[in-house]
Amino acid sequence: MFKNLFSYEGKRVVITGASSGMGEATAKLVHELGAEVVAVDIQPPKYDFASYVEVDLRDRVAIEQAVAEIAASRVHNLFYCAGLPGHKFSAVDVVTVNFISQRHMIHQLLPHLKRGRCDCQRVLGRRYGLCVFRQASAAVHGHHGFCRCAGVGGAE
């Protein structure tokens, strides 16, 4: 019997930006693959996921409160898909949500993730192509440092 390598059956997965765009598509796909999806966004998702946590990712305290609520139950994976486009928001908001809050959320959530590896993927559109950043931690249990980063598409 072969194991389905794409299955998220029995996994509780946190997805930021789950109300639209890439986050919504990721949340739907992971849900279809069997995950219990915890949707995190400033707006409620259109799709009925296992749970929804409203959070403004520009607010450090709101992130900490959201993680406290989320971490009340086991978490297996985090997909940080939230992001603000630069042409609609201030540069400060874009950098805060797209980078600073991502790091803060990972720092807050790492101690609560199931022992093993934490994978967090971040895809950023660029004017001339696409950058994909992949961050992975060493063993999560007891690890409070930030993840190592590797960049693809000309960015490190």
Q: Give residue 118's pLDDT band: very low, low, confident or very high (50, 70, 90).
A: low
Q: Give residue 92's pLDDT band: very low, low, confident or very high (50, 70, 90).
A: very high
pLDDT per residue as tens digits for the range 13-30: 999 999 999 899 999 999
**How far apart are alpha carbons 21 and 86 in whole angstroms?**
15
Tell me what pLDDT residue 129 has.
Answer: 38
Domains of the chain: 12-152 (3.40.50.720)
Q: Give residue 112's pLDDT band: very low, low, confident or very high (50, 70, 90).
A: confident
**SS3 of 124, please?**
strand
Above 70 in pLDDT, residue 120?
no
